[in-house]
Amino acid sequence: MKLIKIPEDKYYDYKIKAMFDCYKWDPQFCDNNTLSRYVLVLTKKENEEIISLTEKLDKETRLAEEYLNKNIKIAKNLTLPRKVLEQIPNMQNYDKTQNIRLMRYDFHLSIDNNWVVTEVNSDCPGGFAESSLLPNLARNVINLPQLDFTSFGDKMVEEINKKLNKNGTIMMVHCTCFSDDRQVMQYMGDRLKKEGYRIIYGAADHINFKDKKAYCILDNNQISIDLIFRFTPLEWLIQMKPRRWDGYFNTVTKSCNHPISIYAQSKRFPFVWNDLEKAGISMSTWKKLLPETFEVKKLLLKEGYIYKPVYGRVGERISIKEACKGDEYEKILRDVKKHPQQYLLQKDFKSKAIITNDGNKYHICLGSYTIEGKHAGYYARMSQYPRIDSYAEDIPVLIEK
Amino acid sequence: MNGRDIFKIYAPYGAKWIDWVRPVPFVAIDIYNRKPISNWKDRKVMFINEYDKNTAIFIDLPGIESIELGVALARIGYRPIPVFNGTDEQQGARATTDTYLIESCLINGGEKLKTIFLNDNANPAFLLDSYRINRYRSNESIFDNSWDIYKQDVPSAKYFIKNDITKIIVVTDKIQKDLKKILINYQNEGILIYETDSYTFPQKITLSKSLIERFEKEEL
């Protein structure tokens, strides 16, 4: 992996194009610019290695979730929210051939040059436009047309085209109060609209279910839905009032993702691996790549271990001391003490920083997507400290041919 | 001028504070082909007489008034920084918040701003829409495009202080809950907070958390 700098005199225009042509509507987080001044380039070998590992992880994850869906006793060890646990019986009609399964695996490079995977974004991975449009923009700006990339958006469209009639209606379900959610949905919606689909933007509670089929209840958009493209996390969806969200769990309307995604979204996923292996499902790739993970029995933070929230999504509340700001570290420890069941203990691998030509050091999180088991592009973020959180910068990924 | 051109007027190359200008309403100008509003009012700044190098301003008035006052403040040396972050509703649906008025009015504001010389180091006047938290839905078929301002949407207290900002004037009829959280952070770091309704001289205020706010989960 190497980082190539975008020429200083081209960065302002690059950023404007990222905002207006590539749906980058959140280019600032507090005092941090979240659009990197660099481009990440993978060697052909690195790319092939990650693709191979990603697809192996995905195979294991999908077999695991199907097994867990049928074995509620084991799934209980994931300490899923009670409202989700109650829905497991309703998910028994889950048909993987009817849905589109999308995940993103977070890869990091360790100081001993091994790949480490810290989690799978199983439920609602984002970053679609950054992985589809930004690489092409960056490639033009640095003028290296020989570099390649995989467009997530193109891969997703290919998969949807296989499963949906082109005059179908797709509802882009998201938290409508957040523009950073809308930017993810708007890119995908615009891309799908070009294919001929009817696109509706709405919130999770703008869908109602009748005879297990989803239909939209938005003003002047009351129509049956052919695909639910969901970007509202399940933990939020189940808080919705009035309660209509049960329908998401047993709907026959195609979904991306179906709530079956919740099993691997729990960071307690490793705690069921032994049971899975006893049932004949190998978790060997996961075991090789995920740092050792333990339950938080009592507040005993061992040297070389960190706390992570069970349902963390953007690197928040991870107790990497050198990455915590102000009194954040102490606050996390206080929170772990109050809610130990909401955290787990994980071995702190040593992340290898990439050094740029101008002497800066950056830690990289390379998110590798899968759609229906196949690699579908990259979404990467980088940070000057070894935690990739909301302050991190988005960085386009290009690949050497 | 398209949305991108108008954005560049508010966020010109090389100027300070422009990283906080949110692109969301400017992108919408192009998507929805917005036109300028017809009832723009040229306002006068009545609550201060001159530019102060240690002061930043937050204008939290109904969107159009915020933009109009932001442009008026530009005439005395402050740079308007729009931080509007609401998205547009699904076509055909009713919405809780009128984002289109802001998108349209930013065009008028851009035209005016183009004619005003602003120093690259001009202090910021952050523009907010006080209707942003209208989230009442008379029925469920309405699209909720209300939004909150969060601490990550604006500079930190540390950044303000590093850039010699020691005083913030809030122009509003009522300090709303989301902005209050941010202002309390600033206050705790030693920044002085003043409030005005836009007509009267700003008064120094001390903000404190309500009982409910004190029990809210600690933000990290």
* Partner A contacted by B22 (CB < 8 A): yes
Q: What is the pLDDT of residues A266-282, one digit of tens each?
A: 989 999 999 999 999 99
What value does the mean pLDDT take over residues A179-192? 97
Residues of A in contact with B157 (CB under 8 A): none
Higher pLDDT, A130 or A345: A130
Minimum mean pLDDT range among A136-140, A290-294, B201-205: A290-294
Longest dimension (CA), chain A: 61
Reply yes or no on whether the pLDDT at A322 is more than 80: no
Q: Which DSSP string corresponds to A155-216?
A: HHHHHHHHHS-TT-EEEEE--TT-HHHHHHHHHHHHHHHHHT-EEEEE-GGGEEEETTEEEE
Q: Above 90 in pLDDT, residue A300?
A: no
| Cα–Cα dist A12/B14, whole Å | 9
Instruction: State whether A177 and B155 contact (CB < 8 Å).
Output: no
In sequence order, what are the beta bridge partners of A14?
none
Q: Which of A177, A217, A316 sits opposite B147 (nearest CB)?
A: A177
More confident call, A313 vs A11: A11
Nearest one of B56, B83, B73, B74 to B178, comparing CA atoms? B83
User: What would the mean pLDDT of A238-252 be, rounded to a whole number?
Assistant: 92
- Spatial CA neighbour of A102 closest among A389, A396, A375: A375
Contact status of B27 with chain A (Cβ, < 8 Å): yes
CB-nearest to A218 from B85, B141, B156 is: B141
The three-state secondary structure class of A286 is: helix
Three-class secondary structure of residue B148 per DSSP: coil
Residue type, A24: K
Q: What is the mean pLDDT of chain A?
A: 93
Distance of CA A163 to the CA centre of its chain: 22
| % of residues, chain A, pLDDT over 70 | 98
Say if CB A227 and CB A160 are below 8 A apart.
Answer: yes
Do A345 and A293 contact (CB within 8 A), yes or no? yes
Contact B86/A at CB under 8 A: yes
Predicted local distance difference test score (pLDDT) of residue A325: 77
Closest-CA distance of chain A to residue B22, Å: 7
On the question of pLDDT at A47 being above 60, the answer is yes
Name every chain A residue with its beta carbon within 8 A of the beta carbon of B143. Answer: 176, 202-203, 206, 218-219
Q: What is the ipTM of this complex?
A: 0.94
Whether A157 and A127 have beta carbons less than 8 Å apart is answered as no
Burial class of B44 by CB neighbour count within 10 A (0 to 12, 13 to 18, 19+): exposed
Residue B84 to chain A, least CA–CA distance (Å) = 10
Ranges of residues in chain B with a pLDDT under 50 are: none
Residue A303 has pLDDT above 90, yes or no: no
Structure tokens, A77: 């060890």
Alpha helices in B128-170 (DSSP H): 157-162
Answer whether A218 sits within 8 Å of B93, measured CB to CB: yes
Cβ contact (<8 Å) for A16 and B7? yes
pLDDT in the model for residue A343: 85
Distance from the Cα of A13 to chain B's closest Cα (Å) equals 9
Cβ-based burial of B86 (10 A; exposed 0-12, middle 13-18, buried ≥19)? buried
Q: How many CB pairs under 8 A join A and B?
A: 97
Residue A340 pLDDT grade (very low, low, confident, very high; cuts 50, 70, 90): confident
Here the tokens at position B133 are: 């938290």
> How close B189 comes to chain A (CA, Å)?
12
Counting every residue written for chain B, the total comes to: 220
pLDDT in tens, A70-95: 999 999 999 899 999 999 999 999 99
Parallel/antiparallel/unpaired status of strands B192-196 and A2-5: unpaired
Mean pLDDT across A209-219: 96
Assess B30–A contact: CB distance below 8 Å, yes or no. yes
pLDDT of residue A316: 72
Retrieve residue A12's tokens. 């302002």
CA distance A170 to A192: 9
pLDDT at A389: 80
The per-residue pLDDT for range A31-45, each reduced to its tens digit, is 999 999 999 999 999
Q: What backbone phi and psi angles, to 5 degrees, belong to B219? A: -80, 140
- The pLDDT score that the predictor gives to residue A63 is 97
Helix (H, G, I), strand (E, B) or coil at B169: strand
B162 touches chain A (CB under 8 A): no
DSSP secondary structure, A58-100, as one string: HHHHHHHHHHHHH-HHHHGGG---HHHHTTGGGGGG--TTTS-
- Which of B8, B94, B152 has the CB atom closest to A219's CB atom? B94
CA distance B71 to chain A (A): 23
Helix, strand, or coil (residue B219):
coil
User: Phi first, then psi: what are they for A364, rounded to 5°?
Assistant: -120, 140
When scoring A35, A170, A179, A243 by the number of chain B Cβ atoms within 10 A, the one with the most, hence best to mutate, is A179
Distances (CA, A) of B139 to A198, A200, B9, B135: 24, 18, 39, 11
Neighbours of A341 (CB within 10 A): 11
- Total residue count of chain A as it appears in this document: 401
Confidence band, pLDDT 50/70/90 cuts, at residue A298: low
Give pLDDT, residue A338: 81
For CA atoms A41, A46, A51, A57, the dihedral sign is negative
- According to DSSP, residue A12 is labeled H
pLDDT band for A19, please (50, 70, 90 cuts): very high
Nearest-CA residue of chain B relative to A11?
Answer: B13
What is the distance between the alpha carbons of residues B113 and A5, in angstroms, rounded to a whole number? Answer: 33
Nearest to B185 by CA among A327, A25, A384, A393: A327
Query: What are the chain A neighbours of B146 within 8 Å (beta carbons)?
Result: 177
Task: Sort out which chain A residues have CB atoms less than 8 A from B87's CB and list them.
Answer: 176, 179, 182
Chain A contact set for B20 (CB, 8 A): 28
Cβ pair B155:A27 closer than 8 A: no
Q: How far does A184 lie from chain B, in Å, by closest CA?
A: 12
Kindly tell me if the per-residue pLDDT of A299 is higher than 60. Answer: no
Rounded CA-CA distance A346/A348 in Å is 6
